[in-house]
Amino acid sequence: MLIVPVSATPSQSLSALLAGQNCQINVYQKTTGLYLDLAINNVPVKSGIICRDRVWLIRHPYLGFVGDLMFADTQGASDSSYDGLGTRYLLVYLEVSDL
């Protein structure tokens, strides 16, 4: 398990090396919730994923992403909101062998 660093801003883009994959991750707040886009080497894997508490975001190995991502509420079971990113709401990565 790895915690991917995110900050408490309503829209952010970050890069992370996850299981040897050069990942580009966009996290953004809309009125309907927090969303995530994932690309590997700038090739989109999945976009517009709503971020629910402890729900895997990618879920389908055929998409070519090794492992999975989820947001976890460290103080309860609420869905993520940008103002708690990095503190209350953590972006968690698990490799396929950990799932």
pLDDT digit string, tens, across residues 11-37: 999 999 999 999 999 999 999 999 999
Compute, in degrees rounded to 10, the torsion defined by CA atoms 61, 74, 83, 71: 0
Average pLDDT of the chain, as a whole number: 95
Q: How far is CA 12 from CA 15, 49, 66, in A?
A: 10, 15, 22
**What pTM does this model have?**
0.93
Domain that holds residue 12: 2-98
- Determine the distance from the C-alpha atom of residue 14 to the mean position of all C-alpha atoms in its chain, rounded to a whole number: 10
Q: How far is CA 59 from CA 4, 30, 62, 64, 88, in A?
A: 18, 22, 9, 11, 23
Domain count, the chain: 1
